[in-house]
Amino acid sequence: MDSDLFSRRRAERFAQLLDEANGGRRHHVRSNADGELTALVEVSRRLSAERPDVEPGAEFRTGLRAMLVATAEREGVGTPAKTTTGVRGTLLPAITGRRARARGAILVGVAAGAVALSGISAASENALPGDALYGMKRSTERAQLALASSDISRGQLFLDFARTRLDEAASVRGDRLGFSAVLDDMDADTRQGVRLLTTVAAQRSDPVALDAVDTFLAGQRRVVSGLLDRPDHAARDRTRRSLALLDAAGKRADALREAIACGLPAPQASDALGPAPAACPADR
């Protein structure tokens, strides 16, 4: 997978999605990057529609301007178009309109990502399920994932989001369905994060990526266990399911560490928690 969010093809597709979101002509094409890029388009839409009353500070403005200027210089945005001689002597513009739009999309993407992760999104940081800004909070998280540069970064982000869902669950009281829904999201983030990190560890035969899993599990188990004191029987049962997932993730990380230590090849079998290693031979 291309880890560069704004490579040429992805930038061109991002420009198309922005055009479509603003009422422009629809392009009857699909891209493997649409899921990630659509998250950024959604952040842009929400920021325009909801306009949270938060002003970015002077330091942020200065940093964003410097970043955009540097990107513009690197991509040649705003420079006079040069011409080159074609196969029959025809002068062709060095930068086509499509390329120019793509480079413009690069700047838009950089700005959208920076704004989404800046003080503007701070207005939604403490939003809870049902709050007006909760959708923006989740969109900002998706934008962070889209901007992540590696599977390790994405895996760590998913685990961070699982911690956030746990904080939200602790604040949801008297709403059995809401509590269960937040734990469902928490467990989904846990699986995604663990799967990404265990996959990296297996592919590289290096257990370093598992350290983030161990750290996450140690803190997450303790806080999730604290939810067992809820008086509602169904809420306690639902909490036990999340604890069982954490236990399974811990066992998977331990098994993978052992497999790497005894030199087993990367496992072929995989499930929701990532590679499922075989046991080390008894004589090793």
Q: What digits encode the pLDDT tens for the residues 152-173?
A: 999 999 999 999 999 999 888 7
Backbone φ, ψ for residue 130 (5° rounding): 100, -20
**Which range is least confidently modeled, 33-47, 71-85, 157-171, 214-228?**
71-85
* Most confident residue range from 69-78, 80-89, 174-183, 268-277: 268-277
Cα separation, 47 vs 18, in Å, equals 14
Kindly report each contact of residues 166-171 with a partner whose C-beta sits within 8 Å and lies 24 or more positions away, as own/partner.
166/220, 166/223, 166/224, 168/128, 168/129, 169/227, 170/223, 170/226, 170/227, 171/128
3-class SS of residue 86 = coil
Other CB atoms within 10 Å distance of the CB of residue 72: 17
Backbone φ, ψ for residue 256 (5° rounding): -70, -40
- pLDDT bin (cut points 50, 70, 90) of residue 184 is very high
> How high is the pLDDT of residue 211?
96
**For residue 194, with 0-12 CB atoms within 10 Å meaning exposed, 13-18 middle and 19 or more buried, which class applies?**
buried
Please report where in the chains the tokens 């709403």 appear, as a residue: 175
In this prediction, what percent of the chain has a pLDDT beyond 70? Answer: 62
Does residue 145 carry a pLDDT above 60? yes
Does residue 139 carry a pLDDT above 60? yes
**Which range is least confidently modeled, 30-39, 56-65, 217-226, 262-271?**
56-65
Residues 105-115 have pLDDT tens digits of 555 555 555 55
Cα separation, 107 vs 70, in Å, equals 10
Residue 207 gets which letter from DSSP? T
Closest CA to 182 of 128, 221, 143: 128
- pLDDT bin (cut points 50, 70, 90) of residue 80 is low
Label residues 50-66 b or e (16+ Cβ within 10 Å = b): eebeeeeeeeeeeebee
Strands (DSSP E) contained in 167-237 are: none
Cα separation, 203 vs 209, in Å, equals 11
Average pLDDT, the chain: 78
Element (H, E) at 17: helix 8-21
Closest CA to 124 of 178, 65, 164, 162: 164
> How high is the pLDDT of residue 8?
58
Cα separation, 139 vs 117, in Å, equals 11
What is the average per-residue pLDDT within 74-91? 51
| H-helix segments, 51-94 | 58-75
Question: 178, 172 in Cβ contact below 8 A?
Answer: yes
pTM reported for the whole predicted model: 0.63
> How high is the pLDDT of residue 190?
98
Residues 185-220 have pLDDT tens digits of 999 999 999 999 999 999 999 999 999 999 999 999
Measured on CA atoms in the order 149, 150, 153, 158, is the torsion positive or negative? positive
